[in-house]
Amino acid sequence: MELLKKLALCTSPSGREDGIREIIKEEVKECFDEIYTDALGNLICHKKGNGKKLMLCAHMDEIGFVVTYIDNSGFLRFGNVGGILAYNSINSRVVFENGTVGTISYENKENPSNINLSKMYIDIGATSREDAEKKVKIGDMAVYHSQFYENGNRAISKALDDRAGCAILIEAVKKAEKSANDLFVVFTSQEEVGLRGAKVASNSVEPDMAVSVDVSNVGDTPASLELNLKLGEGPAVKMKDSSYIIHPSARRYMLDCAKNANIKFQLEASSYGGTDTGAIHLSGNGVPAGTISIPTRYIHSANEVIDIADYKASVELVKTVIETSAEEYLQA
What per-residue confidence (pLDDT) applies to 72? 97
Domains of the chain (ranges plus CATH)? Answer: 2-62+158-331 (3.40.630.10), 64-144 (2.40.30.40)
Q: With beta carbons less than 8 A apart as the criterion, state whether 15 and 193 touch.
A: yes
Residues classed as catalytic: 191
User: At 210, is the secondary structure helix, strand, or coil?
Assistant: strand
Residue ranges of the chain whose pLDDT lies below 70: 332
For 240-275, the DSSP string reads: E-SS-B--HHHHHHHHHHHHHTT---EEEE-SS---
Single out the residue of 142, 145, 149, 306 nearest to residue 236, CA to CA: 306
Q: For all residues of the chain together, what is the average pLDDT?
A: 95
Torsion, Cα of 43, 319, 253, 258 (10° steps):
-140
pLDDT of residue 112: 73
pLDDT on residue 272: 84
Quick: pLDDT tens for 12-63.
999 999 999 999 999 999 999 999 999 999 999 999 998 899 999 999 999 9
Q: What integer pLDDT is reported at residue 96 of this predicted model?
A: 97
